[in-house]
Amino acid sequence: MGVWRAGGAPGSPGLSRGSPDQNRFRAELGPYFWKSAVLRRCWEKPRGYAGDFLMMEALYRRQPEGQTALELWMDSWALELPGFQAVRNRRDLLAQMLRAEHARGARKVMNVASGSAPELVAVARDVSFESVTLLDQDQGALDSALGHFTRVGAMPATRHQALRLWCGSVLELLRNRSDLPSASQDFIYSIGLFDYLTERFARRLTTKLWDGLAPGGLLVLGNFNAKNPMHLFTETALDWYLIYRDPEDLLRLVEGLPGLESAEVRTEDTGCLHLLVARKAK
């Protein structure tokens, strides 16, 4: 039936959403995939969405969970799927960028749809930011971030008073100018949100974030690749649908923005995930 195909782009042969074939596939094969703890969480969506912060933390830990040999084997297999490795690569790339931007003088950082912000936790022990804003709609994710900062002893470098935990949606961000003053941040990034945004909304949010970026600052936006080999699997087996973007799609988001000095798209090693990296002129 051609359920999924490596390198397939949107529109490749698969199983239509809600079709009898898709329902049959899930009924017969789903129970095997869901023996993996991480895949089962993606399918069940206990917090209302697939890629919640606890699921992401399981990817970062990379430690299989299960009560039986089969469950452990399935979780080991799932944790090494290319899209999940791409998530770990993305975290590492962001940690490198945070260090590099700090070395350039960046002191005010904002992460939009932050989850538990593992890339910041990784660097905050020895990189001191004056202001760190984490915006997420899930208070549990923000509580987890604070717990991670505290447990690793990171806060002496980036102090508690520098950390702003903002539980809210990007709609609130777009509607209230006071929450992100113009030119107030040196580094703004959002790496797990744009996969769910329509072109129109993605452009609006990009423009808003760009306005909040200080001269010389860096904006980084993540999006899964349209040729991501996992996309038909996640749709068919997990009912997890994303909006995929190619480099050209991402570059269009910053096209024509005032003060754009440079823009490029970097792709992590698996080829599944892109990062749009845009610098504002000083």
What domains can you pick out in the chain, each with its CATH number?
A: 86-228+240-280 (3.40.50.150)
- At residue 178, the pLDDT reads 64
Q: What is the mean pLDDT of residues 34-55?
A: 94
Q: pLDDT averaged over the chain?
A: 90
Say which range, 13-17, 109-113, 195-199, 269-273, has the weakest mean pLDDT: 13-17
List, for residues 126-157, the tens digit of each pLDDT value. Answer: 888 999 999 999 999 999 999 988 876 655 45
Report which of residues 243 and 176 the model is more confident about: 243
Q: What is the DSSP letter of 46?
A: T
Residue labelled with tokens 């992401």: 56
pLDDT at 59 exceeding the cut of 80: yes
Q: Residue 114 to residues 56, 58, 100, 165: CA-CA distances in angstroms?
A: 11, 16, 19, 10
**Nearest CA to 63 among 89, 45, 40, 37?**
37
Whole-model pTM over 0.85:
yes
Residue labelled with tokens 């020895």: 126
Please tell me whether residue 163 adopts helix, strand or coil conformation: strand
List, for residues 244-268, the tens digit of each pLDDT value. Answer: 999 999 999 999 999 999 999 999 9
- The DSSP H or E segment spanning 233 is helix 231-238
Q: Spell out a b/e string for 179-201, using b for 16 or more CB atoms within 10 Å of the CB, else e.
A: bbeeebbbbbbbbbbbbbbeeee
The answer to whether the CB of 134 falls within 8 A of the CB of 164 is yes
Q: Which two tokens stand for residue 64?
A: 């299989």
- At residue 152, the pLDDT reads 65
- The DSSP H or E segment spanning 217 is strand 213-224
Say which range, 23-37, 47-61, 107-121, has the weakest mean pLDDT: 23-37
Show the 3-state SS of 124-155.
Answer: HCCCCCCEEEEEECCHHHHHHHHHHHHHCCCC
Report which of residues 23 and 281 the model is more confident about: 281
List, for residues 230-248, the tens digit of each pLDDT value. Answer: 888 888 888 999 999 999 9
**Nearest CA to 228 among 89, 26, 22, 116?**
89
